[in-house]
């Protein structure tokens, strides 16, 4: 079902903008202590080795060329993670660069006026609630191309204004398509499954 919106709030945040991401894990094992390459975690007696953990880096050269002059170098290094392999570190670095290397418009709020909508559209808008997923298509005025985002509803506010105008505003955030580990889920709650634990 498609219906028009009245107001929209968009942010172009650069506080989390990384052109290059390096991720390094801590190698954990219960091997003989070597004071040159190991450190003992006194709380668990597990020896933490960093000599075998190869840093994994992902770079978006296009974003670096386009934005580095105006926004400066944006490099993120994450070390000491308890990941299982260097491949997982590389996967995390690739994910973060893909997610945060280009400043993109993020729709954070949408307002719909119920007056003038059909009865079916009014019912559909009024039925939207927190955790519902919606698709929003929007073309910035005067600049840029069309923006289409899949978003999750995080908040709902109802307002009645002068002249019996009824507005509903939705606080929104990006709906990630990744599959995450989920407790008590028959598929995503199985250890060793094809999902992401975090990040």
> What is the tens place of the pLDDT at every residue in 103-132?
777 788 999 999 888 899 899 999 999 988
Q: Which residue has the higher pLDDT, 124 or 142?
A: 124
The predicted structure's pLDDT at residue 56: 94
The answer to which of 12-16, 76-80, 177-181 has the lowest mean pLDDT is 12-16
> pLDDT at position 168, please?
92
Per-residue confidence (pLDDT) for residue 36, from 0 to 100: 44
HSE value, Cβ hemisphere, 13 Å, CA-based, for 141 = 4
Rounded CA gap, 39 and 84, in Å? 18
Greater pLDDT, 189 or 13 = 189
Token pair of 155 as six digits: 């908040």
Q: Mean pLDDT across the chain, nearest whole number?
A: 78
pLDDT for the residue numbered 63: 84
The pLDDT of residue 169: 93
Confidence category of residue 39, pLDDT binned at 50, 70, 90:
low
Look at residue 125 and tell me if it is in a domain.
Answer: yes
Q: Is residue 62 part of a domain?
A: yes
In the three-class reduction of DSSP (H, G, I as helix; E, B as strand; rest coil), residue 71 is classed as: helix
**57: in domain:** yes
Q: Which domain holds residue 88?
A: 20-100
* Pair (140, 76) in one structural domain: no
Q: Which of 85, 100, 115 is the last residue of a domain?
A: 100
190 found inside a domain? no
Sign of CA dihedral 149, 150, 155, 156: positive
Residue 125's contacts (CB-CB under 8 Å, 6 or more residues apart) are 3, 112, 114, 117, 168
For the full predicted model, state whether its pTM sits above 0.95: no
Number of domains in the chain: 2
Signed CA dihedral, 166, 172, 177, 178: sign only: negative
Residue 2 vs residue 33, higher pLDDT: 2
User: Residues 95, 137: one domain?
Assistant: no
- Per-residue confidence (pLDDT) for residue 14, from 0 to 100: 54
The secondary structure of residue 110, as a DSSP letter, is E
SS3 assignment, position 86: helix
Of the ranges 46-50, 66-70, 145-149, 153-157, which one carries the lowest mean pLDDT score? 46-50
Q: pLDDT per residue over 71-94, tens digit each?
A: 777 889 998 888 878 899 999 999
Neighbours of 97 (CB within 10 A): 20
């Amino acid at each position: 079902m498609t219906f028009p919106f009245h107001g929209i709030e968009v942010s172009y945040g650069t506080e989390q903008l990384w052109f290059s991401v390096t991720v390094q894990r801590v190698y954990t094992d219960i091997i003989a202590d070597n004071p040159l390459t190991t450190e003992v975690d006194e709380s668990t007696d597990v020896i933490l080795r960093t000599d075998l953990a190869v840093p994994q880096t992902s770079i978006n050269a296009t974003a670096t060329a386009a934005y580095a002059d105006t926004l400066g170098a944006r490099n993120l290094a994450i070390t000491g993670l308890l990941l299982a392999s260097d491949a997982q570190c590389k996967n995390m670095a690739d994910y973060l660069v893909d997610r945060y290397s280009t400043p993109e418009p993020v729709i954070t709020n949408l307002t719909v006026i119920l007056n003038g909508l059909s009865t079916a559209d009014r019912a559909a808008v009024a039925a939207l609630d927190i955790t519902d997923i919606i698709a929003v298509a929007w073309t910035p005025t005067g600049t840029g191309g069309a923006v289409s985002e899949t978003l999750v509803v995080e908040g709902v506010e109802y307002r009645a204004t002068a002249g019996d105008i009824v507005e509903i505003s939705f606080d929104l955030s990006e709906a990630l398509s990744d599959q995450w580990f989920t407790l008590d889920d028959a598929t995503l709650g199985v250890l060793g499954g094809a999902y992401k634990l975090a990040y």
